[in-house]
Structure 1
């Protein structure tokens, strides 16, 4: 097993911009993201930092603007690969798949924002590429949504995605649980859709 940690879109847009993360509280999720980065560095786990990039005229993630920039605490930590993306999945139209293959990575740990959008899309794509996926429950986060289909709170949205992820696509764990697995070199418990549907989780 060879892990890599992918830190998705921890940019100012989610802190001081138009999309402030609300659940888990962004300062708490940020602290866990930084802990995950530090743990990865200490134990030789490669770290990929992803930055969402949009045209300069975009209202969100406008390339070159303050909101597009990485949060300063992420930016000042070492990483092994920095990549920009333009779609939800970190695999879409990027070099991520080739980079992971070249490093021999077979297990991808997902942290960053937003839970149901770029995090979930990346996790599903990794799963469909045959990788084991780990999803950090307290190092990810989101905000409330409301549209023609209805409304959902940030807490409900985050919780429901975690349940879906752990049913089939990813092993959901806290940062502390993941750090323990990294230190021991052991995998996290694999998701089990049969157990999830039978109420055995």
Structure 2
């Protein structure tokens, strides 16, 4: 039998309008993530919140102790829900995330959050490498416009490219509605 955890990555104030590193579609992603959290809580399953802080105050966003580094109110952890503080892109690097999942005998992870092209990608690949069955809920993730060698990459394209790569070999990639339908059928 599968034992599942929801991993909510970096849904923090700096990514929302008015923050220091605004993402495209962040409000929509957070609303969908909140729906996932509510379903998992109702089902008595594990919800893990990941919170990123850079190690120094001169960080472009998520500066230590700043309001921008706080988990957004839509994602407020309930008492007893683990919050994993990280200082790197990969949620497993130098954190207790893997130990936490293993202590709870988790073998399936559902991943959402930000940024699609960085921390969501890194956590999904690492989760797969550690042997967890992975699902990414794509519309509960957000990205931003990127640029490479003078080529502008709109946020929607960056997000789609990373979701396509994850779907190819690392995870099932589905929508919030699809996940809710599956979850309700279990």
Q: If the length of structure 1 is used for normalisation, what is the TM-score?
A: 0.86
11, 19, 22: which one pairs with 1:20?
22
The answer to whether the 8 Å contact 1:48/1:79 transfers is no
Structure 2 unaligned residues grouped into runs of 5+: none
Q: Post-superposition shift, 1:150?
A: 3.3
The answer to whether the 8 Å contact 2:49/2:77 transfers is no
What is the rounded CA distance, in whole Å, between the counterparts of 1:168 and 1:59 in structure 2? 32
The answer to whether the 8 Å contact 1:47/1:79 transfers is no
Cross-structure match for 1:183: 184
What is the rounded CA distance, in whole Å, between the counterparts of 1:118 and 1:98 in structure 2? 19
Cross-structure match for 1:40: 40
What is the rounded CA distance, in whole Å, between the counterparts of 2:165 and 2:27 in structure 1? 25
Q: Deviations over 1:54-83 (max 9, x none)?
A: 122323110111111111121255562101
- Paired residue total: 183
Cross-structure match for 1:154: 155
Cross-structure match for 1:168: 169
Q: Deviations over 1:6-34 (max 9, x none)?
A: 00000011012121111xx2221111010
RMSD: 1.4
Structure 2 counterparts to residues 86-101 of structure 1, below 5 A? 86-101=87-102
Structure 1 unaligned residues grouped into runs of 5+: 186-201
Cross-structure match for 1:188: none
The answer to whether the 8 Å contact 1:126/1:133 transfers is yes
What is the rounded CA distance, in whole Å, between the counterparts of 2:22 and 2:93 in structure 1? 25
Aligned with 1:7: secondary structure? Answer: strand
Cross-structure match for 1:102: 103
Q: If the length of structure 2 is used for normalisation, what is the TM-score?
A: 0.93
Q: Post-superposition shift, 1:149?
A: 6.5
**Correspondence 1:29 to 2:29:** yes
